Structure 1
Amino acid sequence: MTGQLLFGLTFLSALGAGLIAGLFFAFSSFVMTALSRIPSVQGIAAMQSINVAVLNPLFALVFFGTALACIALAIQSFFRWGETGTIYVLAGSLFYLVGFLVTIAFNVPLNDSLASVDPNSAAGADLWKHYIVNWTAWNHVRTVASLAALASFIIALRYR
């Protein structure tokens, strides 16, 4: 890859990581707290609606597109290992991909279990208590990972 293409991918990855970090931060800092304070029926229904609404082309472009860019950047890092700033490109890529994998391995399965429950049922209320705690804990992890990716990409761009 040319230097300009790598710069562009790093810049776009920084933007993507920043957008995703902001989204995750909002959920960690106030959305899940607000949802936990309302009756479980309403909280479940709201989160079920959010989980459907997030599946849209713009979110997919940012979330998956950044992951693909990070994979390309990580691979390229090994070919440019001696260059200044490469370690930050690799670190940013790996941080973002950790958050991406946490989403796939933990948050999505929790979302799937919530999608299958009746908000008005006792099972739904029990699941909601478990969901709020576990989903939020994993969301904190992916928030930190996305922020670390953003910081790493910013440092990498200073060297380019």
Structure 2
Amino acid sequence: MTSRDAVLAAAAVATGLMAGLFFAFSVAVMPGLAMTGDRTLVEAMQRINAAIQNGWFLLVFAGALLLGAAGAVLCVRDGARTVLPWVVAGTVCYLLVLVVTFAVSIPLNDRLDAAGPPGAMTDPAAVRERFEAAWVRWNLVRTLLCTGALGCLAWALVLSGRAGAAGS
């Protein structure tokens, strides 16, 4: 395995972990919370948003982009012209995930947190209404983009392996 392949594999794993996280929210967490009361959804999401801010999450969240970019640099260095477009496409898709996260998801999370403790809210239904549908919609966008990024990186690994086998 070349260093390029190792970096691409790490980028694919990190991107896959993020795609899985977004997918789990799309198909299980948010549908489950949709069946709860307003205060329960608000409190659960406030706690999830606080808990997710940890070193392991940040390592994978940022690492996926950094590893994708490093993979692109290594493709240029190695002259891997058939691999490079797929790595770039995967990295751009993941970069768009970050754009959505910072432009939409985090501001929604911040507004939810600023609403205060659910037990002290006078209108938790209004807080939920301003949060839930938009967050779910944009999380689906992140899920699709991240899954696309993973597919591109996986295909880049396949092509890189073929190129390596042809060169041996």
Taking structure 1 as the reference length, the TM-score comes to 0.90
Distance in 2 separating the partners of 1:122 and 1:32: 23
Residue identity in the other structure for 1:29: V
1:24-46: CA deviations, max 9, x gaps?
A: 00111121111121111111111
Task: Decide whether the 8 Å contact of 2:42 with 2:112 is kept in 1.
Answer: yes
Distance in 2 separating the partners of 1:116 and 1:80: 49
Report the alpha carbon displacement of residue 84 of structure 1 after superposing the two structures with TM.
Answer: 1.6
After TM superposition, the structure 1 stretch with the greater mean CA deviation from structure 2, 80-89 or 144-153, is 80-89
Distance in 2 separating the partners of 1:124 and 1:113: 13
Q: Which residue of 2 aligns with 1:108?
A: 106
After TM superposition, the structure 1 stretch with the greater mean CA deviation from structure 2, 139-148 or 63-72, is 63-72
Q: Which residue of 2 aligns with 1:28?
A: 26
| RMSD, aligned CA | 1.9
Mapping 1:118-157, distance limit 5 Å? 118=116, 119-120=118-119, 121-157=121-157
Task: From the CA coordinates, give the structure whose radius of gyration is larger.
Answer: 2
Report the alpha carbon displacement of residue 74 of structure 1 after superposing the two structures with TM.
Answer: 4.3
Count of residues in Structure 1 that have an aligned counterpart in Structure 2: 158
Task: Decide whether the 8 Å contact of 2:4 with 2:75 is kept in 1.
Answer: no
Mapping 1:8-27, distance limit 5 Å? 8-27=6-25
Report the alpha carbon displacement of residue 130 of structure 1 after superposing the two structures with TM.
Answer: 2.2
Task: Decide whether the 8 Å contact of 2:23 with 2:143 is kept in 1.
Answer: yes
Distance in 2 separating the partners of 1:131 and 1:15: 30
Mapping 1:37-76, distance limit 5 Å? 37-74=35-72
Report the alpha carbon displacement of residue 122 of structure 1 after superposing the two structures with TM.
Answer: 3.5
Same amino acid, percent of matched pairs: 35
Q: Runs in 1 of length 4+ with deviation above 2 angstroms?
A: 3-6, 70-82, 122-125
Taking structure 2 as the reference length, the TM-score comes to 0.86
Distance in 2 separating the partners of 1:101 and 1:74: 20
Distance in 1 separating the partners of 2:143 and 2:127: 23
Task: Decide whether the 8 Å contact of 2:75 with 2:83 is kept in 1.
Answer: no
Report the alpha carbon displacement of residue 65 of structure 1 after superposing the two structures with TM.
Answer: 1.1
